[in-house]
């Protein structure tokens, strides 16, 4: 369910980004078309000798555009990596909760499972030491779990 929700969220973000691109493309030039008599390239730095001086001093710095593009690319990559880690952790949490829900001894609704980069923390209350031990074992046996912190409290 968490995976499906994440996929749906990513799909909505993708659709919104595409829509924003097309809306910006369609309505972005409201002030009238600019008359350009020169080609804008991506190699080198443009100076006033590369194009006519018809509109004042609005020079284009290709190097500045490259730097801006690189910063944007880095931000997108960092965001993607963070989303990937969060999705992996959410999937791992869902796996553990599913195992607990299917187990006859463990009452999954009283146990909270938090996952950060493969490290799992179990908290909440359990009815017996056997239930506590079983919950910890189920978490440890789950693939991709690097460590389990047991903060379960046994009700007596």
- Span 119-144, mean pLDDT? 95
Q: Which residues span the domain enclosing 139?
A: 62-156
DSSP per-residue codes, 58-103: ----HHHHHHHHHHHHHHHHHHHHHHHHHHHHHHHHHHHHHHHHH-
What is the structure's pLDDT at 9? Answer: 87
Report if residue 36 sits inside a domain: no
Report if residue 53 sits inside a domain: no
Report if residue 46 sits inside a domain: no
* 48: pLDDT strictly greater than 90: no
What CATH number is associated with residue 111? 3.30.1340.30
Beta strand 111-116 pairing with 119-126: antiparallel
Query: Per the structure, how many domains does the chain have?
Result: 1
pLDDT per position as a tens digit, 51-83? 544 454 456 788 888 898 889 989 898 888 888
Report if residue 14 sits inside a domain: no
Report if residue 124 sits inside a domain: yes
Q: Tell me how far apart the alpha carbons of residues 73 and 65 are, in angstroms, rounded to a whole number.
A: 12
* Residue 57 CB neighbour total at 10 angstroms: 6
């Amino acid at each position: 369910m968490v995976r499906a929700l994440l996929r749906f969220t990513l799909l909505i973000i993708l659709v919104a980004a595409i829509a924003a691109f097309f809306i910006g493309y369609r309505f972005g030039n409201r002030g009238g078309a600019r008359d350009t008599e020169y080609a804008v390239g991506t190699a080198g730095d443009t100076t006033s000798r590369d194009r006519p001086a018809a509109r004042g001093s609005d020079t284009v710095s290709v190097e500045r555009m490259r730097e801006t593009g690189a910063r944007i690319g880095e931000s997108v990559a960092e965001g993607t990596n963070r989303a990937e880690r969060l999705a992996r952790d959410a999937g791992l949490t869902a796996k553990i909760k599913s195992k607990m829900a299917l187990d006859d001894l463990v009452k999954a609704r009283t146990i909270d499972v938090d996952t950060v980069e493969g490290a799992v923390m179990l908290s909440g209350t359990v009815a017996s030491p056997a239930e506590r031990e079983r919950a910890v074992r189920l978490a440890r046996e789950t693939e991709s779990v690097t460590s389990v912190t047991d903060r379960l409290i046994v009700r007596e």
